Amino acid sequence: MTRAVTVRIVPASHTSSDERRDLVALVNAAFGAHRWLFPDAEATDDRRFMEDTAGAELIVLARERRPVAMGFVRPEHDGLYLGMVAVLPAAPRRGLGTAVLREAEQIARRHGLGTIVLSTATELAAPYWTHHGFSIVTERAMPRGSSGATADWTLVTMHRALPPEK
């Protein structure tokens, strides 16, 4: 039987330290996939998580109260910024990342914003977002060594207009 996934939208400042502990673990597990390019990247911790999500709302998907996917959203002048999208590595390609994006779209609508904006690297999640219809707005070549990268990489911002409401 498939266990139901629940969705919780919560201001980051309203999370408990217990809840953040699980989210920090989720983020570190998901972003561990980037280690081939950024082997020295520090794992996040409660302080960094709170700094990175300051003023943002969290989208948390949970199964039996354990978070399996998350992202944060923050309105910006040119759209709703979607950051830190993380899916439990044990549950890949089951639509959880897409479900986070769908929630972000609903939030953007509520804020009257027509665009979702995010940033990533060409070598990391850009193909995933391209698959979801995002296109590159800005592109910045980053040399090997920047942010501890083991190879040259490209920092991109990407955006996509909201799809029409069904």
Ligand X SMILES: CC(C)(COP(=O)(O)OP(=O)(O)OC[C@H]1O[C@@H](n2cnc3c(N)ncnc32)[C@H](O)[C@@H]1OP(=O)(O)O)[C@@H](O)C(=O)NCCC(=O)NCCS
Residues that bind ligand X in the complex, under the rule CB under 6 A: 30-31, 33, 85-87, 92-98, 118, 120, 124-125, 127-128, 131
Q: How far apart are CA 61 and CA 69, in angstroms?
A: 5
Identity of the residue, 16 or 131, whose beta carbon is nearer to ligand X in the bound complex? 131
Sign of the C-alpha dihedral computed for residues 106, 51, 88 and 116 taken in this order? positive
* Closest CB 152 distance from ligand X, rounded Å: 18
* Closest CB 158 distance from ligand X, rounded Å: 9
Contact 97/128 with Cβ under 8 angstroms?
Answer: yes
Sign of the C-alpha dihedral computed for residues 118, 82, 55 and 89 taken in this order? negative
Distance of CA 52 to the CA centre of its chain: 11
Q: How far apart are CA 60 and CA 104, in angstroms?
A: 11
Which residues are paired to 159 by β-bridges? 117, 135
* Closest CB 85 distance from ligand X, rounded Å: 4
Q: How far apart are CA 23 and CA 38, in angstroms?
A: 21
Q: How far apart are CA 166 and CA 153, in angstroms?
A: 37
Identity of the residue, 113 or 121, whose beta carbon is nearer to ligand X in the bound complex? 121
* Closest CB 1 distance from ligand X, rounded Å: 20
Identity of the residue, 98 or 106, whose beta carbon is nearer to ligand X in the bound complex? 98
* Closest CB 164 distance from ligand X, rounded Å: 19
